[in-house]
Structure 1
Amino acid sequence: MASISIIISTYNAPKWLAKTLWGYNQQTFKDFEMVIADDGSKQETIDLINSISKEVNYPIIHVWHEDNGFQKSKILNKAILSCSSDYILMSDGDCIPMPNFVETHSVKKKEGCFLSGGYHKLPMDLSNLISKEDIENGNCFDKDWLKKNGMRNSFKNNKINASKIKSTFLNFITPTTPSWNGHNASGWKKDILAINGFDERMQYGGQDRELGERLVNYGIKPIQIRYSTVCLHLDHPRGYATQDSINKNLAIRKETKNLKKKYTDFGIRKK
């Protein structure tokens, strides 16, 4: 059994998924399994996963269901049940992990806690430019190379390869509240199961945060690792983002907060 199960979500974005999976092939920590939570992608993605599974040095489990609109919460719950490890790291299929990404989560994991990491968003031109070779030789995590190829100057650039002392300091002073972030968060499978996983009523917009809020209500402490390790978030359109789904999710999150809910009746186990 692997030490860590990594869940990454995807939907009809094979080009981005390939870059993500190549990133996990460069990890310093290698005792993990990959569980792909696929919200109904077409054959091109299935073919890619079959092909790339022969290249990489980690096992891949492909969890798929038929495309019936945005059902990310539902496929994530199925993926959670497919994890063989007692510790789960979650990210997305459009996020290239730094080489120390999995190792950082492994080193910092702690009973009674979950880890809240960050991402660094790239513009579309730079997202397209990054090649397999750039991932393998580390160009895509080199600030000078990124700036040369279109990354703007920003304080957020400190997330890339910050020293241990610097990242610890930035984690301490950041005004950002640690939360369960779908692109970079990890926790114990038993805790996620105890709160019944993701609320499957929720579509795009905050379903990951709501899971984290129930974990906190359950007594799990969030630990900030926003600057300790990041993934590069590749740009893409979000045609599934609707105001109706966002409003619906906000109402569910408000109920979770006001009632201090630890458990959802609309998760892994149904009434």
Structure 2
Amino acid sequence: MSPEHIGVVITTYNAPLWLAKVLAGYEQQSDSNFTTLIADDGSTAATRKVIDHFRDRCRLRIEHVWQEDGGFRKCRILNRAIADTACDYLVFTDGDCIPEPRMIETHRQLAAPGYFLSGGYIKLTMAVSQTITEQDIQRGVIFDRDWLVARGQPRNHKLWKLLREPWKKRLLNALTPAAPSWNGMNSSTWTRDLRAINGFNEDMPYGGLDRELGERLWNYGHKSKQIRFSTVCLHLDHSRGYAKPEIWERNRRIRQAVKQNRSWWADNGIVKPAEPGS
């Protein structure tokens, strides 16, 4: 069973330079039959200008879902995107993750009922992130290990995700000790199943919110498929001023409760709790 209409959900917040590089990556996809859903957590006009620029190029079908800036509310804008879309299958990523050219094609080929896919990513240094140009993305050189190393990216085992031989990718997917968990940079599943668990938990700010969604999908009966070596995106570096220890601890307790109770429904998700007296 292959998806009929794929949507790529890209979260962003006031990072127009990074978003431009990401959208340039989606213009280079081998499979162009998808809709780009930009889930915008309150960015200013600079981000809208980038989106309008790529719309005018007419290479991407873009839908811009925006909410007013009210602090870190990623789960809320993601739920709006899930609720509003007509796409039957959704790939989730961030506005700082440049996709390799076969990313959509790979997610389409490997999609299966009752599964979510757990793709890979490579975190770039800030220097390499700033060096990458739109021309580099169009030429595809940014997914060459030697090209990255020549510009300052450390040469280590993480670059194995850029191996080209399919049999090596399959072997490493089978051998990796990493769990095929949901990560917000490169994961996908069916829209109906995301709606069935009520989407993302809006009680969770930054820190583990993506993993919690995947854990509820497991509790719902989903299995997950490891594709971290099958398709990868390059994660552009950025600061994380919103990451706080007390928030991580709160989110850890939420995730622990999900595991212990084997719960799959997000009480504060797409469908909101009933107001007192309603």
Question: TM-score range with shorter-chain normalisation?
Answer: over 0.9
Aligned to 1:22: 24
Aligned to 1:85: 87
Aligned to 1:259: 261
**8 Å contact 2:16–2:50 — kept in the other structure?**
yes
Shift of 1:161: 3.7
Q: Measure the CA separation in 2 of the matches of 1:82 and 1:95.
A: 23
Q: Measure the CA separation in 2 of the matches of 1:65 and 1:158.
A: 38
What is the root-mean-square deviation of aligned Cα atoms in Å?
Answer: 1.1
Letter in 2 for 1:66: E
**8 Å contact 2:54–2:60 — kept in the other structure?**
no
Aligned to 1:46: 48
Per the normalisation by structure 2, the TM-score is 0.96
**8 Å contact 1:35–1:82 — kept in the other structure?**
no
- Among 61, 64, 73, the residue aligned to 1:59: 61
Secondary structure, counterpart of 2:57 in structure 1: coil
Structure 1 residues 131 and 56: alpha-carbon distance in aligned structure 2, compared to 1, 3 A threshold: farther
Secondary structure, counterpart of 1:54 in structure 2: helix
Aligned to 1:210: 212
Equivalences, count? 271
**8 Å contact 2:172–2:229 — kept in the other structure?**
yes
**Identity of counterpart residues, as a percentage?**
49
Aligned to 1:179: 181
Q: Measure the CA separation in 2 of the matches of 1:246 and 1:175.
A: 24
Question: Are 1:97 and 2:99 matched, yes or no?
Answer: yes
Aligned to 2:276: none
Q: Measure the CA separation in 1 of the matches of 2:132 and 2:156.
A: 20
**8 Å contact 2:22–2:96 — kept in the other structure?**
yes
Q: Measure the CA separation in 2 of the matches of 1:168 and 1:151.
A: 25
- Among 178, 192, 195, the residue aligned to 1:193: 195
**8 Å contact 2:116–2:222 — kept in the other structure?**
yes
Letter in 2 for 1:10: T
